[in-house]
Structure 1
Amino acid sequence: MSRCTWLVTTLISFVSFGLVPNAAADSNVDVMVYGATPSGIAAAVAAGKSGQSVLLVEPSNRIGGLVTSGLSHTDFHSLESLSGAFLDFANRVETHYAETFGVDSPQVKASYHGTFGEPKVNLAAFHALLNEQPRVELIHQHRLTTLSQTETSPRNRIESATLADPQGNTQTVRAKVFIDGSYEGDLMAMAGVPWRAGREGRDEHGESLAPETADDQLQAYNFRFIMTQDETNRVTPVAPPGYRREDFVGVLDAIESDKIQRVFDYPSKCIFKAHLPVLPGGKYDINDVSRGLVRLSLPGKNLGWPDGTPEERQAIHAEHLRDQVGLLYFLQNDLEVPPEFREEAKLWGWCRDEFLDTDHLPPQLYVREARRMQGVHVYTQADSEYAAEGTRAKFHPDSIAMADYGNNCHGTHHEGPRFGGKHSGEFYNPVPPYQIPYGVLLPKEVDNLLVPGAVSSSHVGFCALRLEPVWMSLGQAAGHAAALAVQHDRPVQQVDISELQHHLHADGSATIYVSDVLPGSPDFTAVQWWGAAGGLLKLYPEGTPRKPRGKRLHGQYSEAAPWHAVELDKTLDADLEQRWRALAASIGVPLDVLPQANGTTTRGEFIRAASAASSQ
């Protein structure tokens, strides 16, 4: 569907419901952020903290995206990979549990440093983040309808965005910089920025995880239900609208196989993956079983989502809900289900204290992938793989975020019957902690637009960026970049990278993974600055074994990635001093203020001296 067709369809939908648009008061702000996802919230907060006036626009009546809609077991591997906006958010969640139940309470432990929060607690934390920013205004239930643009050279510029509420009232917002925080890239697409949905062929970017030829396959979606076995908080599921028993009888053959041993379990041989550890409040984050015999994710059923109208997306949402709630209802109630499975399934239900406006079901579908911008830097598989030398991934001097998850895809196509068939296009690729360059946020065609949600990437590359902590880091970078573009009156493509990195480091956001100097350390900003310059490359002897992850703790979570420490107290040896002095000279640090390797000088003393000299 073209951008013009989308606009016409949207306007027709207002007329069909008798919603004749009425003009509302227009507004002028420095930055408009569309989509109060975690990425959009982080962008709004960062721009507000930098002194800009911000309007954050959410099309629905609930902020927080999937983090407040069921995805409560956050996707990361080591705690050392968390920084900036997401770490601030997680700390607030942990503080809530500590203040409510006590520092040593089971709830605090279950929250895993605030990364496993109940949706209602996550929602409150996001609202608290926004409420602390007096220059950020949030409006709900306003959907983008049109953009006004002017042609400049060599790029276009967005002048204003027109929004409409459910009653058809319109509001025009003029802004100096626009940020698209939506999962789908709706504002980006309306601005005429090129995008893709589907998979590139293997040869296009040299990606081993890509298919031989390009296609329109899209990573599958499912709901992240929040469920409980606690009778005092349990709501019994009912048949969803459109329920048809015949759609689910095929699951009986799967149950009879030894590949399905329980309805709810972790991590495999089940139908509903109930993530462990249990969330605070005795709640479970329910997900698709990777490589399982029975899947919740429905590849192919979501192909109309990326460029779909609101009505088309609602139909896809309803179909996924009918399928996944219907499957649970069948397992709990159909008499052909073996009694042991049926009785086990009946022990589970929705949480009475969650999602009160949507019958205790998550209001948002888990949109793992939709549009992907094709921007200044297309992030690919190679960007998160090991560099030719050393123990780190490819170095990006213009890095504005980092992560440690790896390329993760739940499948893009289903072969065989609904139950008992097999997903294809599925991969889980371990990689070392990786950096993300500024170019993934930048369109080539528009000089005042940043896109931290539908970031510029290939399908395979996007599968390493599509995690909520990463999206928050990208949003935080977009917010600070927008502020710098406003302050210096320049296109976002011309923001000074070193200045942007300085603001990010000062805001506690890491641009390179350092396992032993974390946010809050007095050395954090100096070490991050030195790392951004390339000072942390090849710190370990040639031939050091490469290992992308540390010792497994539980589930997908692990200790810090090995061979990524800076070891500030380690004595500076002559060879490293020589390399570091050459680097310092190349970035303009006066060499006469730097300590020499004399048998007692430490790495930390050198980095601190270099950092102090660079800031003078």
Structure 2
Amino acid sequence: MRKITYVFVLFLTLLLTFPNAIISQNKASDSTADIIIYGGTSAAIIAAVEAKKSGKSVIVVSPDIHLGGLTSGGLGWTDTGDKSVIGGLSRDFYHRVYLYYNTKEAWNWQPKEAYGNKGQGTRAMDGESRTMWIFEPHVAELIFEDFVKEYGIQVERDEWLNRQNGVKVENGKIISITTLSGKTYSGKVFLDATYEGDLMAAAGVSYHVGREAGSVYNEEWNGVQTGVLHHKHWFLSDISPYVVPGDSTSGVLPRISTVSPGNKHDGDDKIQAYCFRTCMTNHEANRVPFPKPENYDPLQYELLARSLATGRDDFFEKFDGIPNYKTDTNNHGPLSSDNIGMNYDYPEASYDRRKEIIKEHEDYQQGFYWFVANDPRVPKDIQMEMQKWGLAKDEFTDNGNWPHQIYVREARRMIGQFIMTENELLKKRPTPNPVGMGSYTMDSHNTQRYIKADGFVQNEGDIGVNTKGPYAISYGALVPKKEECTNLLVPVCVSSSHIAFGSMRMEPVFMILGQSSAVAAVLAIDNNVTVQDVDYEMLKNALEEKGQVLKK
């Protein structure tokens, strides 16, 4: 009895003497900031930088360990469009890339003068604007880490939102989010900067997955696009889809749908294909041979063999050069790194199911490279060239030199206060309250592979439509409907149609929208208003002062 009394008295004494210490231990898993950002993408880090520059406390809650999303995950051949409309902190990122590659240490494998300075529609290194648009993955990640250190940003890594009951909402406001590890983060304004839109969905905000019918927003390029062949990502010749060519009783080859693709302009729940943007090299001192997946099956690539047998010779067209004898290698051709039709349930899948989908994509793509480098059915000239290539030894060193981020080209898209469509991008209608600009082609990769009425195989969904110059992006596309949530901004899974998102989904634009979202969040906090009620003139003036480009 005396021992129990002594322990109680000791605890009471400690509580009175060090109350904050006792409370802090009990609340060790709780954190509070003005702005909570969920995601580790380029948009997330840029938004956090803006929040700190504006004098607000911010916490980045990142399910990722590596920061920067696709920008540091292999997409170094930047989809710039019209670079003159890339402003603010987005441009600052590319300025920092420029500064990095102006050091002797940056060119450890390749002399700087040997690099061709070719970019996507622009020079890779632009001395006049002091920007560089093409870079190695590890360089992008280094710059994002420098942002974090320079601005003292708190980043909680490997923290996954509890999507079932981890979002506390009261009276239309998010109060806090809790991760699977049990940590809780409370804030005044929240940003969902993930590619998937998990926080947005868990908060009860409306969204869409798949392609809307063309009639929904009066769009020509939305919905099913059978018969539309814009790029070279389709079968140029008649290829049989059957195991034994021409014999339907022999079974259908893998990765070909046996159901109708739908009528042109029909809506569906299908999404454009994913892949990894692999960083390759043919510089022997830095080359790692392509790995062979344990479950490798050459039948998965029979369609490629049949396509190559017709004389198609553009296999290496998207081995886009980045510094130090490396590439950002993207999908190209009718059967390539795009894993068509194998990602439909990814946007709303559980974390475990997403991991399965990502692993299946990894196995497929690694098997694809192995097939080209080793299968005897591949034409000798292509095979001999492919055998010179491999993964870059000094990239993604903790992941077998394989990208840590799959290219989620599209997942959920918010149905917000304003919906961007092709009509705004093509300037058929004005865009209200601009907070940034885009300019890239409305670009969708293939969505399905099917059997045509004539019995041959074809791909569907690949679209490339020029926007004929830059277009404005509305603030209303970043905020939910007011009746759904009043303190959330969404700079990645923005409110847009499928085909409009096909242009807006570029990494420079995500950084632009990340900064604009953070500026709006600050104004909402300072003026004690909802994100929907932020005064646009105040927002516009603040953005322009920070170098954002709102009109062209």
Structure-2-length-normalised TM-score: 0.81
Structure 1 equivalent of residue 402 of structure 2:
361
Does the 8 Å CA contact 2:169/2:203 hold for their aligned counterparts? no
Which range is displaced more, 237-246 or 445-454?
A: 237-246
Structure 1 equivalent of residue 299 of structure 2:
246
The one-letter code matched in structure 2 to 1:351 is A
Change in Cα spacing, 1:148 to 1:227, as seen in structure 2 (3 Å) is: closer
Structure 1 equivalent of residue 423 of structure 2:
382
Are 1:67 and 2:71 counterparts? yes
Structure 1 equivalent of residue 439 of structure 2:
404
Equivalence map 1:102-113=2 (5 Å): 105-106=112-113, 109=117, 111-112=124-125, 113=131
User: Paired residue for 2:48, among 37, 41, 44?
Assistant: 44
Structure 2 equivalent of residue 186 of structure 1:
198
The one-letter code matched in structure 2 to 1:480 is V
Q: Distance in 1 between matches of 2:427 and 2:176?
A: 43
Does the 8 Å CA contact 2:30/2:185 hold for their aligned counterparts? yes
Structure 1 SS opposite 2:70: helix
**1:396 positional shift:** 2.9
Q: Distance in 1 between matches of 2:66 and 2:58?
A: 18
**1:151 positional shift:** 3.7
**CA deviation profile, 1:288-341 (whole Å, cap 9, x unmatched):** 11xx23232123210111001111111111111111110111121223433322
Does the 8 Å CA contact 1:94/1:108 hold for their aligned counterparts? no
Are 1:427 and 2:463 counterparts? yes
Which range is displaced more, 75-84 or 98-107?
A: 98-107
Structure 1 equivalent of residue 21 of structure 2:
none
Structure 1 equivalent of residue 353 of structure 2:
312
Structure 2 equivalent of residue 176 of structure 1:
188
**CA deviation profile, 1:60-103 (whole Å, cap 9, x unmatched):** 21110001111111112232122112210000011011023599
Does the 8 Å CA contact 2:80/2:133 hold for their aligned counterparts? no
Structure 2 equivalent of residue 261 of structure 1:
313
Q: Distance in 1 between matches of 2:522 and 2:84?
A: 28
Does the 8 Å CA contact 1:262/1:341 hold for their aligned counterparts? no
The one-letter code matched in structure 2 to 1:190 is A
Q: Distance in 2 between matches of 1:142 and 1:422?
A: 41
**1:162 positional shift:** 0.6
**CA deviation profile, 1:11-67 (whole Å, cap 9, x unmatched):** xxxxxxxxxxx9843111000000121111111111111111000111021110001
Structure 2 SS opposite 1:358: coil
Does the 8 Å CA contact 1:23/1:170 hold for their aligned counterparts? no
Structure 1 equivalent of residue 230 of structure 2:
none
Q: Distance in 2 between matches of 1:140 and 1:151?
A: 27
**1:150 positional shift:** 4.0
**1:140 positional shift:** 0.8
User: Paired residue for 2:502, among 463, 467, 477?
Assistant: 463
Q: Distance in 1 between matches of 2:472 and 2:79?
A: 17
The one-letter code matched in structure 1 to 2:435 is I
**CA deviation profile, 1:530-585 (whole Å, cap 9, x unmatched):** xxxxxxxxxxxxxxxxxxxxxxxxxxxxxxxxxxxxxxxxxxxxxxxxxxxxxxxx
Change in Cα spacing, 1:479 to 1:218, as seen in structure 2 (3 Å) is: same
Equivalence map 1:141-220=2 (5 Å): 141-145=158-162, 146-152=165-171, 156-164=172-180, 169-211=181-223, 212-220=265-273
The one-letter code matched in structure 2 to 1:241 is E
The one-letter code matched in structure 2 to 1:510 is V
Say which structure, 1 or 2, has more relative contact order (CA 8 Å, 6+ apart): 2
Which range is displaced more, 107-116 or 314-323?
A: 107-116
Change in Cα spacing, 1:341 to 1:396, as seen in structure 2 (3 Å) is: closer
**CA deviation profile, 1:474-517 (whole Å, cap 9, x unmatched):** 1111011111111111111111111111111111111112xxxx
Does the 8 Å CA contact 1:147/1:158 hold for their aligned counterparts? no
Structure 2 equivalent of residue 129 of structure 1:
147
Structure 2 equivalent of residue 347 of structure 1:
388
The one-letter code matched in structure 2 to 1:202 is G
Structure 2 equivalent of residue 280 of structure 1:
323
Does the 8 Å CA contact 2:100/2:106 hold for their aligned counterparts? no
Q: Distance in 2 between matches of 1:200 and 1:333?
A: 41
Change in Cα spacing, 1:102 to 1:300, as seen in structure 2 (3 Å) is: closer
Q: Distance in 2 between matches of 1:126 and 1:397?
A: 32
Does the 8 Å CA contact 1:237/1:349 hold for their aligned counterparts? yes
Structure-1-length-normalised TM-score: 0.72
Change in Cα spacing, 1:280 to 1:382, as seen in structure 2 (3 Å) is: same
Structure 2 equivalent of residue 223 of structure 1:
276
User: Paired residue for 1:492, among 512, 522, 531?
Assistant: 531
The one-letter code matched in structure 2 to 1:361 is W
Structure 2 SS opposite 1:477: helix
Change in Cα spacing, 1:238 to 1:379, as seen in structure 2 (3 Å) is: same
Does the 8 Å CA contact 2:166/2:179 hold for their aligned counterparts? no
Q: Distance in 1 between matches of 2:521 and 2:343?
A: 32
Change in Cα spacing, 1:378 to 1:242, as seen in structure 2 (3 Å) is: same
Does the 8 Å CA contact 2:86/2:512 hold for their aligned counterparts? no
5+ unaligned residues in a row in structure 1: which ranges? 1-21, 267-272, 388-393, 514-616
Root-mean-square deviation (CA, aligned residues, Å) is: 2.0
Are 1:475 and 2:514 counterparts? yes
**CA deviation profile, 1:127-171 (whole Å, cap 9, x unmatched):** 11222213x21121001114343442xxx111111123xxxx421
Q: Distance in 2 between matches of 1:105 and 1:274?
A: 19
**1:461 positional shift:** 1.6
Does the 8 Å CA contact 1:38/1:67 hold for their aligned counterparts? yes
Structure 1 SS opposite 2:322: coil
